């Protein structure tokens, strides 16, 4: 390359054009080698990739046609790209190449490759106008992206070597990346696993979410328990996102609906904001396919800034419109105890739905060109609602089709019912969203009109199904199935049900005609009155459900999902049965064809291949190839080697290396020193009463109390050493969950400093649990607790991750535990507790005062109350486990009922762990049995049974 004078603009344009012209899935990288003048400084730049390509061409190893599509960058070209970004995409001072700067430059380098693949993917999808699935979720719990991206691109070795040349280790650089604060629990992690599988399997799909500035919260553990502060994940910028300032859509709140000519409705006035797109490329594993996660951020037009108010000193008024818009995307799940909090949550949900659907429709129109046909919209678009948060997709799609595109109600309703599908994630009544009709009428007046029309359609369908002869049955169905709760029936329906066969006058005249032959006997006045009463009773207007003025008027979002969509799926076999037989039984009886099961899954790339390289190498060795990473059925090969001593020895060594890493991590994060030769017993998940972290810690207290009553020799003989690890966030306003966190940390503070107990028992709460913490803990875990009250966990995905990594589960027959136990074998799963079909009866017995608590459970409660774990008053926590009825009482989640079974099962765990040959075999069989729980399998089923889309492999 000749030495030439370049301006900053011309150099950057030349660099970008040079790379895009190449159309290479792995970017051309520039390296020092040729000189040019730039801002009075001298640089030496050389295209290493270009030279290597030329050398290969001269040697005849590549042809002109193959060009750069087959070029794989080596460590030298990777290093050049990293150095380029450290200088020309600066986020840090230029004088040092420290770890934060190294991470940012490395991520920018990887993103270049992703953008080229991303552009190629969607250019091809646009060209062939493929049917596409759109996944809408309020959460995406992504975790760190660097190692996952370079792993999927098969560039881990090149980047590791390049960074070594630049003075850093890849692992150290990767640790500089903050977890994306876009999710909290399993709902969001499932969405992220799905995106990985969609890209890996070459399915045309796209994710939509919100770009939260502060996430849920960062969790600190102090002497007072959990404390929350705002996440700072965007403080140094997000190198993976690409802001699309040219992709934005208007979103409206409040205002009023006016009727125009020919009944056309127009939503006017109110508060207007703008949703702006931020794209995050999602690469597939060993494929060019790179799909997209489009996140929406909110703002207002600059003219909304009130300059006059600002200059007058009224700064709050000046910023009011901007603040109202921007705060929509501040926090994931803002507290909804106040009206303001509820309003903000509803604004979030509508922003996601409105911006996403406007974008989906714009893409459909662009792809259709002059052949636009709304009737085939469902043949090109599938919209999946991840739980009830995106329910407003249904009225919003109808609104756009009617008010903006000019379709009739019948057309819009038919199209919507063939486009939208719903995944249910809960059987908990409080989690089935219900919104105040009053709030929704103020915030989204046009949508309430549409929801009322959908409700009327649903009511008519119910009447058509069940008739009006059995009014008690009909009213019960309407009560359970209507979208509008505690709201009068539509007038048309009331008239249909209430209209008697004959009017009272007609009935009297008819009766008089029947009695004309009995003229000799004149009826008395009393007989006349009695006869009229009988006639009135026969023709009495049937009872109609009247709203209760003392109760709120609500919109039931889950019912709207079922009525407005064409498919409803649960996320585990037992959960789907509960959905059909209990949660939505009335709907299932009317529309059985709508209901499906799609057991959740997790991506084997992130959750074993990348986070557990030691175990991955062993699996590859004993299965004969790396095919298991995309075809997890290959894991079944391990079953025939489960007794092999060589495999068992390698397996134990890998597990111990991971445990050493966990021990080091725990010391760094908590200060506690743990023995890596003890059993690592882990429960990490959102803190909630139904997940029963309380049962776990009560069992630990029982174990500790027993130890305290023994001699040193008796303890060693009776108990296998354990490190009990907890992690998870309690929602900021969930007082009882926060009490549980405080209790766990208090028990740990006592137990861990007890010299009599030593390494026999440790209790550690890991603060700020997230994906990156999970990737550290799960490979080193040996026992994992999934102990929810049976019938209350929809599925769970962490149980799948633990099993995949050779961790043995203790749990109830709940969620995916049922299927995991079937696959890994009953002897390789520690089962305890009441079953789902027993729960209602057990609660009824408790209410009737028939429950007799186990003496050991009462002993533990007394021990806690004695103050042995510090001065904090645990009366409210222990009191929730007592009594027979009442809110916050009566042990609704059956901790006391399952406690005896739980501690007896833990004795079996100790016994099994002492036999390391048996334990290792169980571990191997858990990994082998986890083959079914890959998200690849789940996505294949969604694609085939719900979305009806086919893989599209880029040419």
Q: 399-425, pLDDT tens digit by residue? A: 999 999 999 999 999 999 999 999 999
Query: Which burial class, exposed, middle or buried, applies to 8 when counting CB atoms under 10 A from its CB (0-12, 13-18, 19+)?
Result: exposed
Q: Does residue 915 sit within a domain?
A: yes
DSSP reduced 3-state for 808: strand
Q: What local confidence, expressed as pLDDT, does residue 498 receive?
A: 66
Could you tell me whether strands 554-556 and 567-570 are parallel, antiparallel, or unpaired per DSSP bridges?
A: unpaired
110 close to 102: Cβ distance less than 8 angstroms: no
420 close to 385: Cβ distance less than 8 angstroms: yes
Active site residues: 425, 685-686, 691, 797, 801
DSSP reduced 3-state for 331: coil
Q: What local confidence, expressed as pLDDT, does residue 47 receive?
A: 38
Q: Does residue 200 sit within a domain?
A: no
Q: Positive or negative CA dihedral for 628, 632, 637, 643?
A: positive
Residue ranges of alpha helices (H) inside 175-314 are 186-200, 307-311
- Among candidates 756, 761, 743, which has minimal Cα distance to 867? 743
- Number of Cβ within 10 Å of residue 507's Cβ equals 18
Question: Phi and psi at residue 784, in whole multiples of 5°?
Answer: -125, 135
Residue holding tokens 């959905």?
A: 579
Q: Does residue 173 sit within a domain?
A: no
pLDDT 10s digits, 804-861? 999 999 999 999 999 999 999 999 999 999 999 999 999 999 999 999 999 999 999 9
Q: How far apart are CA 216 and CA 219, in angstroms?
A: 9
**CA-angle at 608, arms to 605 and 613, nearest 5°:** 105
267 close to 253: Cβ distance less than 8 angstroms: no
Strands of 41-47's sheet in order across? 4-5, 30-38, 41-47
Question: Which element (helix H / strand E) includes 125?
Answer: helix 99-128
The CATH number that applies at residue 708 is: 3.40.50.2000
Q: How far apart are CA 285 and CA 291, in angstroms?
A: 12
- Give how many domains the chain has, as a whole number: 1
Q: What local confidence, expressed as pLDDT, does residue 209 receive?
A: 98
Q: Does residue 717 sit within a domain?
A: yes
DSSP reduced 3-state for 135: strand
- Number of Cβ within 10 Å of residue 918's Cβ equals 14
Q: Does residue 838 sit within a domain?
A: yes
Q: How far apart are CA 826 and CA 782, in angstroms?
A: 17
DSSP at 361: H
Residue ranges of alpha helices (H) inside 238-303 are none
- Among candidates 777, 823, 825, which has minimal Cα distance to 801? 777
322 close to 336: Cβ distance less than 8 angstroms: no
Q: Positive or negative CA dihedral for 345, 346, 351, 357?
A: positive
Question: Phi and psi at residue 813, in whole multiples of 5°?
Answer: -85, 75
H helices, E strands: number in the chain: 38, 25
762 close to 751: Cβ distance less than 8 angstroms: yes
Q: Does residue 910 sit within a domain?
A: yes
Q: How far apart are CA 565 and CA 415, in angstroms?
A: 10
Q: How far apart are CA 433 and CA 389, in angstroms?
A: 8
135: which strand partners? Answer: 207, 384
Q: How far apart are CA 179 and CA 142, in angstroms?
A: 7
Q: What local confidence, expressed as pLDDT, does residue 676 receive?
A: 97
Q: What local confidence, expressed as pLDDT, does residue 25 receive?
A: 35
- Among candidates 251, 229, 265, 109, which has minimal Cα distance to 173? 109
Question: Phi and psi at residue 597, in whole multiples of 5°?
Answer: -115, 135
Chain centre to alpha carbon of residue 547:
35
Q: What local confidence, expressed as pLDDT, does residue 14 receive?
A: 35
251 close to 298: Cβ distance less than 8 angstroms: yes
Q: How far apart are CA 837 and CA 789, in angstroms?
A: 11
Q: Does residue 737 sit within a domain?
A: yes
Q: How far apart are CA 506 and CA 514, in angstroms?
A: 12
Q: How far apart are CA 452 and CA 638, in angstroms?
A: 56
Q: How far apart are CA 70 and CA 348, in angstroms?
A: 44
Residue ranges of alpha helices (H) inside 781-931 are 798-804, 817-824, 839-847, 855-865, 875-879, 895-914, 916-929
Q: How far apart are CA 803 and CA 808, in angstroms?
A: 6
Q: What local confidence, expressed as pLDDT, does residue 525 receive?
A: 61
Per-residue burial over 461-498, b = 16 or more CB atoms within 10 Å of its CB, e = otherwise: ebbeebeeeeeeebbebbeebbbbbbbebbeebeeebe
Q: How far apart are CA 457 and CA 143, in angstroms?
A: 43
748 close to 763: Cβ distance less than 8 angstroms: yes
426 close to 578: Cβ distance less than 8 angstroms: no
Q: Does residue 378 sit within a domain?
A: no
**What residues contact residue 671 under an 8 Å CB cut-off, 6+ apart?**
none
Residues of the chain with pLDDT below 50 are 1-57, 59-68, 500-508, 511, 516-519, 535, 539, 541
Strands (E), 289-352: 290-299
**CA-angle at 659, arms to 658 and 662, nearest 5°:** 90
**Range of the structural domain that residue 684 is part of:** 636-933
């Amino acid at each position: 390359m000749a030495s030439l004078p370049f301006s900053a603009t011309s150099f950057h344009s030349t660099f970008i054009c040079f790379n895009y012209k190449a159309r290479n899935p792995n970017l051309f990288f520039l390296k020092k080698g040729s000189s040019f003048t730039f801002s009075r400084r001298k640089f030496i730049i050389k295209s290493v990739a270009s030279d290597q390509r030329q050398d290969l061409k001269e040697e005849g190893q590549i042809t002109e046609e193959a060009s750069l599509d087959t070029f794989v960058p080596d460590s030298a070209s990777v290093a050049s790209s990293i150095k380029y970004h450290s200088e020309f995409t600066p986020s840090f001072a230029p004088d040092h190449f420290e770890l934060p700067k190294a991470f940012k430059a490395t991520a920018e380098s990887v993103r270049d490759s992703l953008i080229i693949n991303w552009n190629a993917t969607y250019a091809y999808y646009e060209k062939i106008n493929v049917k596409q699935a759109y996944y809408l979720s309020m959460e995406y719990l992504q975790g760190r992206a660097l190692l996952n991206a370079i792993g999927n691109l098969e560039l881990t070795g090149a980047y590791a070597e390049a960074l070594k040349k630049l003075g850093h280790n890849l692992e150290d650089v990767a640790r500089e990346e903050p977890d994306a604060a876009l999710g909290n629990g399993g709902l969001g992690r499932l969405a992220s696993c799905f995106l990985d599988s969609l890209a890996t399997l070459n399915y045309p799909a796209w994710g939509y979410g919100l770009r939260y500035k502060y996430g849920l919260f960062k969790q600190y553990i102090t002497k007072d328990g959990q404390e929350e502060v705002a996440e700072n994940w965007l403080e140094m910028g997000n190198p993976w996102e690409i802001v699309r300032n040219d992709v934005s859509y208007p979103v409206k709140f409040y205002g009023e609906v006016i009727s125009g000519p020919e009944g056309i409705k127009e939503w006017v006035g109110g508060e207007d904001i703008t949703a702006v797109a931020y794209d995050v490329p999602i690469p597939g594993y060993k494929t060019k396919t790179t799909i997209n996660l489009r996140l929406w951020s909110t703002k207002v037009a600059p003219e909304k800034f009130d300059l006059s108010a600002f200059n007058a000193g009224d700064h709050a008024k000046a910023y009011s419109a901007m603040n109202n818009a921007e705060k929509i995307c501040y926090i994931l799940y803002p507290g909804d105890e106040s009206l303001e909090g509820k309003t903000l949550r509803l604004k979030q949900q509508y922003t996601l739905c409105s911006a996403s659907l406007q974008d989906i429709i714009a893409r459909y129109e662009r792809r259709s060109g002059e052949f636009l046909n709304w009737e085939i919209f469902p043949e090109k678009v599938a919209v999946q609602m991840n739980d009830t948060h995106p329910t407003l997709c249904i009225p919003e799609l109808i609104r756009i089709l009617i008010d903006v595109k000019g379709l009739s109600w019948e057309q819009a309703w038919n199209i919507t019912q063939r486009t939208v599908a719903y995944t249910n994630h809960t059987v908990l009544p409080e989690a089935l969203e219900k919104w105040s009709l009053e709030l929704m009428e103020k915030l989204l007046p046009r949508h309430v009109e549409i929801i009322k029309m959908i409700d009327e359609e649903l009511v008519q369908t119910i009447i058509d199904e069940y008739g009006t002869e059995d009014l008690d049955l009909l009213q019960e169905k309407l009560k359970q199935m209507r979208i509008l709760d505690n709201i009068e029936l539509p007038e048309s329906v009331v008239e249909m049900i209430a209209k008697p066969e004959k009017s009272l006058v007609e009935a009297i005249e008819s009766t008089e005609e029947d009695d004309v032959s009995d003229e000799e006997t004149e009826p008395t006045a009393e007989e006349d009155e009695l006869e009229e009463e009988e006639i009135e009773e026969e023709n009495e207007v049937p009872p109609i459900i009247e709203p209760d003025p003392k109760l709120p008027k609500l919109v039931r979002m889950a019912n709207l999902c079922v009525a407005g969509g064409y498919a409803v799926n649960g996320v585990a076999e037992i959960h789907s049965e509960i959905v059909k037989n209990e949660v939505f039984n009335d709907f299932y009886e009317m529309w059985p064809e709508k209901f499906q099961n799609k057991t959740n899954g997790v991506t084997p790339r992130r959750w074993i291949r990348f986070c557990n390289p030691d175990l991955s190498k062993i699996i590859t060795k004993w299965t004969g190839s790396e095919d298991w990473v995309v075809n997890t059925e290959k894991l079944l090969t391990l079953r025939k080697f489960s007794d092999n001593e060589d495999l068992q020895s390698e397996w134990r060594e890998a597990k111990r290396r991971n445990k050493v890493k966990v021990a080091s991590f725990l010391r760094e994060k908590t200060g506690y020193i743990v023995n890596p030769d003890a059993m690592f017993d882990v429960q990490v998940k959102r803190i909630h009463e139904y997940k029963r972290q309380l049962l776990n810690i009560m069992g630990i207290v029982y174990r500790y109390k027993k130890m305290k009553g023994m001699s040193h020799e008796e303890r060693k003989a009776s108990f296998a050493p354990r490190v009990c690890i907890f992690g998870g966030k309690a929602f900021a306003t969930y007082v009882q969950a926060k009490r549980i966190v405080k209790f766990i940390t208090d028990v740990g503070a006592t137990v861990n400093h007890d010299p009599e107990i030593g390494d026999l028992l440790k209790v550690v709460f890991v603060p700020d649990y997230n994906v990156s913490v999970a990737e550290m803990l799960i490979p080193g875990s040996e026992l994992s607790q999934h102990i929810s009250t049976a019938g209350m966990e929809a599925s769970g995905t962490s149980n799948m991750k633990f099993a995949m990594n050779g961790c043995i589960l203790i749990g109830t027959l709940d969620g995916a535990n049922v299927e995991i136990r079937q696959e890994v074998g009953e002897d390789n799963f520690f089962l305890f507790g009441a079953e789902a079909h027993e729960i209602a009866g057990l609660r009824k017995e408790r209410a009737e005062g028939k429950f007799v608590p186990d003496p050991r459970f009462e002993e533990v409660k007394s021990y806690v109350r004695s103050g042995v774990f510090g001065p904090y008053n645990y009366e409210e926590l222990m009191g929730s486990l007592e009594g027979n009825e009442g809110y916050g009482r009566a042990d609704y989640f059956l901790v006391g009922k399952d406690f005896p079974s739980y501690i007896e099962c833990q004795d079996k765990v100790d016994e099994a762990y002492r036999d390391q040959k048996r334990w290792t075999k169980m571990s191997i069989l858990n990994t082998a049995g986890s083959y079914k729980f890959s998200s690849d399998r789940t996505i294949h089923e969604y694609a085939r049974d719900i979305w009806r889309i086919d893989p599209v492999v880029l040419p």
